[in-house]
Amino acid sequence: MKCRKCGATAAINMRHHRLALCASHYLEWIPEQTQRTIEHYRMFSLSDQVLVAVSGGKDSLGLWDVLDRLGYQTAGVYIGLGIDGGVRYSDQSLARCRAFAGARRLKLHTVDVPTELGASIPEAARLTHRGQQKPCSVCGLTKRHVMNRVALEAGVDVLATGHNLDDEVAVLFGNTLSWSTGYLARQAPVLEARPGFVRKVKPFCRLMERETAAYAVLRGIDYIYDECPFAEGATNLTHKDLLNRLEADRPGAKLSFYLSFLRARQTGALLLPGAAEAESDLHACVTCGQPTTAPGECTYCRTRRRIHEKREQRSR
């Protein structure tokens, strides 16, 4: 297979784009595609401060690298979850993020969840009985809360996450299977800022996971290969597997599923109630001030309080 631009040996073949590229042309193509996505969805401009949520993985560090190459003003935020999983997952991922930021002289905000919450994510799940086998629900709510807070405190214009097309399509597929209209209404490449919520964007939403992985490898980014040990067996992965089989059979199926959904919603062909209703129930958490639909305190503050109470009970 030859590169379409220069005829050299291709490093990657993207069947759904009918495009094969050599390493150097691929390293140009990814930033071009990302820039097109940023412009298409009006995500941000060169004058905006962009905070990139980084986990140490290929997607988030690849995204930070691309945005930096494109000349955007960026800083990173890393949330240490206190997950070991036999691979020192959190320590290793923090080390990758620090090395990445240090080499490019970019600012990295770090938050240590065990310090903030009073327990690591697996401990928090155990203490609060949220998630019998998996700590993903407490993890998700903690990450959302902390990221939003850091973004607001840092005064940035936008928070960017490394979600790729496979992530988006797997979530879309899951929400469609259960017709979770509230979640469907909120799934978008851009979530506009609302009082107390920072604007959120996903500049890699049209790139496949194998494309972001190839970019990170060809760019020589030192990222953590291990997935979070709790990711294994997640429903999301089952959906990804199914969708990969569909894609292998019909190249372009994932991108078309995702883009058709966005178009249908934008044109009003798909009317999704739910988001507006949930929105009207928002009020400020009595403890931290972040918007919440939970009565009184937000779920994060309630979780934090319960952890401290449990700790006190145990120390008595």
Task: Kindly list the residues in this chain that would bind ligand Q46 in the complex (CB under 6 A).
Answer: 121, 135-136, 139-140, 228, 230-231
Q: Exactly one of 22, 125, 147, 208 binds Zn ion (CB under 5 A); which one?
A: 22
Strands 190-191 and 73-80: what pairing?
unpaired
Q: Is 298 in the site for Zn ion (CB under 5 A)?
A: yes
- Of residues 189, 207, 202, 173, the one with CA closest to residue 17: 207
Q: Exactly one of 49, 137, 236, 287 binds Zn ion (CB under 5 A); which one?
A: 287
User: How near is the Cβ of 81 to ligand Q46 at its closest, in Å?
Assistant: 6
Closest CB to ligand Q46 among residues 231, 248 = 231
Q: Is 3 in the site for Zn ion (CB under 5 A)?
A: yes
The one-letter amino acid code at 134 reads K
Q: Is 149 in the site for Zn ion (CB under 5 A)?
A: no
Q: Exactly one of 12, 83, 124, 301 binds Zn ion (CB under 5 A); which one?
A: 301
Q: Is 20 in the site for Zn ion (CB under 5 A)?
A: no
Which residues on adjacent β-strands are paired with residue 51? Answer: 75, 159
Q: Is 54 in the site for Zn ion (CB under 5 A)?
A: no
The end-to-end CA distance of the chain, in Å, is 69
Tokens coding 136: 């993903």
- Of residues 158, 73, 144, the one with CA closest to residue 111: 144
- Of residues 112, 119, 127, the one with CA closest to residue 79: 112
Cα separation, 218 vs 134, in Å, equals: 34
Q: Is 308 in the site for Zn ion (CB under 5 A)?
A: no
| Partner whose binding site includes residue 242, from Zn ion, ligand Q46, none (CB under 5 to 8 Å by kind) | none
Please report the sign of the dihedral spanned by the C-alpha atoms of residue 170, residue 171, residue 172, residue 177.
Answer: positive
User: How near is the Cβ of 234 to ligand Q46 at its closest, in Å?
Assistant: 6
Closest CB to ligand Q46 among residues 57, 203 = 57
Contacts to Zn ion by CB under 5 A: 3, 5-6, 8, 22, 25, 285, 287-288, 298, 301
